Structure 1
Amino acid sequence: MESEASITNKTESLSSVFGSSLEADSFMEVNSFMQSEPFSPLSSPSTESAKSFSSVTSPCDSLLCSPYIELDEKHFVNNNAMRMLNLYGRHIEANNLKRSGRDAFISHARWLQQNYQELKVARLRLCFSNPSEYTNDAMEWIRMATSRDVEELHIDFSIPDHDRRYPECFKSYAELPPDVYMLRDSLHTLRLSGCKFQPALFGKFSALRKLSIERVEFDRESLQVLVANCWHLEDLKLKMLGHLTNININDFRHRIKRVTIEECIPLMEANIVMPGLQYFRYSGIAVPIVIKDYYTIEEAELDFSQQFELGHHGGLISEILICLQNARVLTVCSYLTRVIGSENLYLPTIIIQLRHLILMKATLHKDESAGIIFLLANYPKLETLTINMGYQTQLAPRILSDEEYNFNTPFDAERFWEAQTSPITCLDMYLKKVNILNFRGHKNEVHFLKYLLKKSARLEELSITITSDMPDWENLQGSCISAAKRLQHCEKASPIVQIAIR
């Protein structure tokens, strides 16, 4: 056991390197963590610990008898400690820390497999990055669930730290075991990440309703085979798939109700024929998206924040909005409002179905503000407007450079909104509620809200949620809250509007 003097000397040496800041305290936690055996409250990281743990628990222990099994390697690896070690050049110790956590996870999973008592498994969630050295173990853990007619199966073999721009992101590290394809009548939810599978065998899943495929190489033909063989599929998610240049989905059975497409590379276009589609979400770069038989869509989300530069995508976006014209709830990103605000666009038809418009990661800068006016004018029966402010995200140089979109150019928000004198139907007759999230009290926010209060004759509630991550220097003397409170005294078109500040 170390003496107090030696511990003091170590502390002083760390302080000399890291100073007396919080970083030194965090680093001391790293060292104390490394001197102890990794242990999670829900784990038995060694054989001895497993025996001790099982001896003091009852036969109906919550782990051994729960129908919900969660085996997640991340619960056994101290990622914060690893980041600190790597930050200060202690890479060998960081690797040792990762290896010890991985060993603890494997010991726990083996212990659980050997002692599991439940006859039925409702859900297995297995997250084990690159199990190549322990493929047999991983297959046994999956077999533990398949032999008990598992209903929900989540398998993640991917390495989450890999950047999606590199081929390793889409690598399959193991293959789905044959036992899974035998779950004809029980499996209704399947999520696969970094796991290879056989699309042609999915026809055996007579109960499968929800499917998510992530982080694998997957081409257009494989996707078509997969959808054709999922006879009863209702919810399909495609995320970070490599080699998927075109998406062509034809749901001739009219069963798929929800589709999510996220960050597939290098996607060029998407053509979707789904007469029963109710929910659609797309996240990625701006590409042509055609949805035929779109009359049943109720909710949609468009996120083009992966776009690296401000492009001329106005026509493309207009066509997508037309495909989503029957949605009652629509979520869009600030890139969309910037594009339609910087180009002279028009929609060939008035969209009367939308009731709730949600703007994500907004800054309310010049082009965004013009884009918002465009949306308000084209959704005449809008009843609820929600805006989630997101300055830090939008100012990231990866998304947008000052040369392409000059935030240094002064934007006279007061003059801009005072110049908006044209009547807008939704403000005159339908808008009832406005939600502002992550409010910072900036002038562009305040003048926009003054405009809404002045023009919205039927407005019943303005809800303002103050941001929780504002630095002290930006929130000097409560300026954020003060700015929100000043709205109480500005001109209002609606005599019944209530302003709530949270």
Structure 2
Amino acid sequence: MDRNVDRSDRNVDRISQLPNSILAGIISRLSFKEGVRTSILAKRWINIWRSTGDVALYENLFIQNDNRRELLKDGRKFLATCIRNHGKQRFIAFAREFLQTYQENEIENFRLSFCHPKKFISEVQGWIQFAITRNAKNLDLDFSDIDMNGVYPSDYIAFFELPDFVYEHRSLGKLKLTACDFKPSDFSKFNALKALSISRVKLSQRSLETLISNCPLVENLSIKKCSDMEYMKIVADGNHRLTSLTIKDCKYLENGITIDVPNLQYLKFFGAFEVFELNNLLRLIHAEFDFGLEDEFHEVGDILGNLLRGVDCASSLTLCSYTTQVITSGEEPLYLPTPLLELRHLTLKIALHINELPGVACLLRSCHKLETLTLEIVKMLPLDRYVHPYKPIYDGAGFWASQVLHFKCLRKCLKSIKVVNFGGSENEFQILQFLLGGARALKELEIVTSKPILTNGDFSEEFMNIAARLHQFERASPAIQVVICENQVI
């Protein structure tokens, strides 16, 4: 073959030679923002992004939020407001032009993020109507205040109400509403809805019960940052298809949470510590509890033990630092009241602070058939008024050396250990020394460092120190594969 012909052939833009329908399909796999950027590639690409089946209209992309925040810090509120209003008008003009020139008959996803819509109700309704008339399968509407991102207001406020015509879109498969009110009784009109997310609204217990009863086909339910409930009760019979439930940062649940969902397989909770009543979770596969909003120690070890008893059918469990600091405050600090006999994978999001170590040991003793242990190293602050479960108080090395009671999972079952965000602290090395010295069935140890392991093509000093230290530890298992890699941030 002629080399010159071969070289020129390599320079041909074969992607641009594809039909528009295929190019539109490729762009649909990108985010809407990335799809818009393809318009600068060549003349051929200028309008192809306009046929994407994934439409996302985000007001915040038109507002210079960094500049606004600096102005607000300096007390220049008027200029910050001007920037925000100018960005809003630019966004509205873009949305009008895009929707008016859109030619496709159907779309897969429609996402809208637009804060303070009250002055533009008819405009916003028109945008949503655009999605409904094109048979959108997934609808994501976010009307939350961009200045409230990550901030707790006194109450969550809905800035928009879902239009009545949306409930007539019976083929809707996924609905996500943020700061958007709705009519729970009208959800019975949906006959294909499988995923529902509600956030940043006032949601009474009666409304929640009506919502659940009218959504028997929903498989995935998320309730986030909702208020106006003194307690939360989620009950569904065996005819409901609910298999995944997420509750996050809901306020004022002083009277606790009741969950009775026989088909539930995945349960995640994030927020302040609450009293749970868990019933009939016989099909549960994974549970996660993160009480990261708590900053003070309370003797609720027995209550936590009862919570874990309610998920004892799960094969996978993820727990937080608060749990490890408090779990030993019950009557028996060395074991859980009920061992987790079905648990195979335990993930602990902890810092391996000395206050957490008794709880880690308690959990390991109570997971007799544990096969995989994941330690995700995170930042934490010790709880105020923490009470150590027993004396004397050891450092990492002394604590693990003092553990004379047996760990059944180490003797028979534990096969894999993974440490994420490994920073090389002494307590991190000490728990690894303990685990390596006791885990007879261990086959793999994976260390994911928080620092680069390569420097100018050679192994870094960080890597060499970790490898040398691990090499010194005695190993109960004759064949352990040790992998050291760095955390890849995408």
1:211 to 192, 196, 199: 196
- Shift in Å, 1:116: 1.0
- Shift in Å, 1:234: 1.0
Q: Following superposition of structure 1 onto structure 2, how do residues 159-170 of structure 1 map, counting pairs within 5 Å? A: 159-162=145-148, 165-168=152-155, 170=156
Q: Which runs of 5+ in 2 are unaligned?
A: 1-32, 454-459, 486-490
- Shift in Å, 1:450: 0.5
The TM-score, its normalising length taken from structure 2, stands at 0.84
2:275 to 257, 282, 288: 288
Q: Which moved more, 1:215-224 or 1:266-275?
A: 266-275
2 CA distance for matches of 1:88 and 1:165? 22
1 CA distance for matches of 2:212 and 2:151? 25
Aligned to 1:482: 465
Aligned pair 1:390/2:373, yes or no? no
2 CA distance for matches of 1:499 and 1:363? 22
Aligned to 2:326: 339
Aligned to 2:223: 238
Aligned to 2:69: 83
- Shift in Å, 1:283: 0.8
One-letter amino acid of the structure 1 residue matched with residue 258 of structure 2? N
2 CA distance for matches of 1:482 and 1:370? 28
- Shift in Å, 1:479: 5.3
The count of residues paired between Structure 1 and Structure 2 equals 437
Aligned to 1:49: none
Deviations 1:149-207 (CA, angstroms, capped at 9, x unpaired) = 11100000011432654235x111011011110111x2010000100110000000000
Aligned to 1:250: 235
**Secondary structure of 1:155 counterpart:** strand
Q: 1:480 to 1:415 in 2, by over 3 A?
A: farther
1:349 to 338, 342, 363: 338
Aligned to 1:135: 121
Q: 1:130 to 1:363 in 2, by over 3 A?
A: same
Aligned to 2:296: 309
Report if the CA contact (8 A) 2:141-2:177 is conserved.
Answer: yes
Q: Please report the RMSD computed on the Cα atoms of aligned residues, expressed in angstroms.
A: 2.6
Q: Following superposition of structure 1 onto structure 2, how do residues 272-283 of structure 1 map, counting pairs within 5 Å? A: 272-283=259-270
1:364 to 349, 352, 357: 352
Q: Which moved more, 1:308-317 or 1:445-454?
A: 308-317
Deviations 1:204-223 (CA, angstroms, capped at 9, x unpaired) = 00000100000000010000
Report if the CA contact (8 A) 2:216-2:240 is conserved.
Answer: no
- Shift in Å, 1:304: 0.6
2 CA distance for matches of 1:114 and 1:430? 62
**Secondary structure of 1:161 counterpart:** helix
Aligned pair 1:495/2:489, yes or no? no
Aligned to 2:405: 422
Q: 1:183 to 1:150 in 2, by over 3 A?
A: same
Q: Following superposition of structure 1 onto structure 2, how do residues 18-167 of structure 1 map, counting pairs within 5 Å? A: 61-162=47-148, 165-167=152-154
Q: Which moved more, 1:237-246 or 1:96-105?
A: 96-105
- Shift in Å, 1:405: 7.3
**Secondary structure of 2:348 counterpart:** strand
1 CA distance for matches of 2:202 and 2:36? 34
Report if the CA contact (8 A) 2:418-2:446 is conserved.
Answer: yes
Q: 1:164 to 1:313 in 2, by over 3 A?
A: farther
- Shift in Å, 1:226: 0.5
Aligned to 1:228: 213
Q: Which runs of 5+ in 1 are unaligned?
A: 1-39, 45-52, 471-476
- Shift in Å, 1:484: 5.0
1:194 to 179, 188, 196: 179
Aligned pair 1:458/2:441, yes or no? yes
Report if the CA contact (8 A) 2:449-2:484 is conserved.
Answer: yes
Deviations 1:95-141 (CA, angstroms, capped at 9, x unpaired) = 33222222221111111111111101211011111211212111111
Report if the CA contact (8 A) 1:146-1:180 is conserved.
Answer: yes
1 CA distance for matches of 2:61 and 2:152? 27
**Secondary structure of 1:366 counterpart:** coil
Report if the CA contact (8 A) 2:411-2:438 is conserved.
Answer: yes
1 CA distance for matches of 2:375 and 2:359? 13
Aligned to 1:266: 252
One-letter amino acid of the structure 2 residue matched with residue 211 of structure 1? L
- Shift in Å, 1:60: 8.9
- Shift in Å, 1:84: 3.1
Report if the CA contact (8 A) 1:339-1:367 is conserved.
Answer: no
**Secondary structure of 1:290 counterpart:** strand
Q: 1:481 to 1:266 in 2, by over 3 A?
A: farther
**Secondary structure of 1:437 counterpart:** strand
2 CA distance for matches of 1:257 and 1:455? 37
Deviations 1:469-495 (CA, angstroms, capped at 9, x unpaired) = 99xxxxxx9457614531122111111
Q: 1:172 to 1:499 in 2, by over 3 A?
A: same
- Shift in Å, 1:41: 7.5
Aligned to 1:176: 162
The TM-score, its normalising length taken from structure 1, stands at 0.82
One-letter amino acid of the structure 2 residue matched with residue 287 of structure 1? E
Report if the CA contact (8 A) 1:441-1:480 is conserved.
Answer: no
1 CA distance for matches of 2:386 and 2:467? 32
